[in-house]
Amino acid sequence: MKPGSKASSRAQYSRSATGLHWLIALLIICGFYLGWIMTDIPGITPTKLRYFSWHKWIGVTVFELAVIRVLWRVRHKAPSMPRRISAWQRGVAHLVHFLLYALVIMIPISGYLYSSAAGIQVVYLEIVPLPTIIGPNPALKVTLGFVHIYLNYTLPALVTMHLMAVLKHQSVDHDGLLARMIPFRREGT
């Protein structure tokens, strides 16, 4: 079989997959940090408005990259896990990955809808005005704000589970699972 085909059994993700993984992770960290600090700035200030814009741009970018990542994942089978990993661990890993993908898509959508319900159009990179899907709606704004915040706090919990599993596989099991997602590595044959 050809490398990169759906049935490939190579041990590592491709550079495209690792690049998307780490770029999305970095953007999520930046977006979360901006969201954290911008909401603590009292009143409406130029800095707060600038942070809100950056936060939204990051969210739109994460959404775009996540869609690309999901499409890539649909077309490319993940590298095989070592056989010694138990069925329940594989099941939990698949569930956590599915939930991470879902959150990385749902969080930007909930933020976008929240902005729409607040009557604020998202203008991506101050260039591209995104369509307003729903009009201003104070009651829906409150609900969508809660949903956006709730999903954002669910994500670090799942990421923590993901990282704890990575550390376990690296430090306890020594099964090389971490090497599958290391960037800037030399690809084997």
Residue in 106, 93, 105, 77 with CA at minimum distance from that of residue 158: 93
- What does the pLDDT look like over 124-182, one tens digit per residue? 999 999 998 899 999 999 999 999 999 999 999 999 988 888 888 777 877 766 667 77
Residues 6+ apart with CB under 8 A from 179: 11, 12, 185
For 48, the domain range is 15-181
Is the model more confident about 105 or about 87? 105
- What does the pLDDT look like over 33-89, one tens digit per residue? 999 999 999 999 999 999 999 999 999 999 999 999 999 888 888 777 777 878 888
H-type alpha helices, 39-129: 46-75, 87-117
Q: Is residue 5, in this structure, part of any structural domain at all?
A: no
- In whole angstroms, give the CA distance from residue 114 to residue 110: 6
Classified as helix, coil or strand, 129 is strand
pLDDT band, very low/low/confident/very high, at 4 (cuts 50, 70, 90): very low
Distances (CA, A) of 113 to 64, 89, 176: 16, 35, 41
Q: What's the number of domains the chain is made of?
A: 1
Backbone region of residue 28 per phi and psi (left: phi > 0; alpha: psi in -120 to 50; beta: other values): alpha
Q: Is residue 1, in this structure, part of any structural domain at all?
A: no
Contact 123, 131 (CB under 8 A): no
Q: Is residue 81, in this structure, part of any structural domain at all?
A: yes
Q: Is residue 187, in this structure, part of any structural domain at all?
A: no
Q: Is residue 126, in this structure, part of any structural domain at all?
A: yes
Q: Stretch 15-20: mean pLDDT, rounded? A: 84
- What does the pLDDT look like over 42-55, one tens digit per residue? 999 999 999 999 99
CATH number of residue 131's parent domain: 1.20.950
| Cα three-residue angle 60-66-72, rounded to 5 degrees | 145
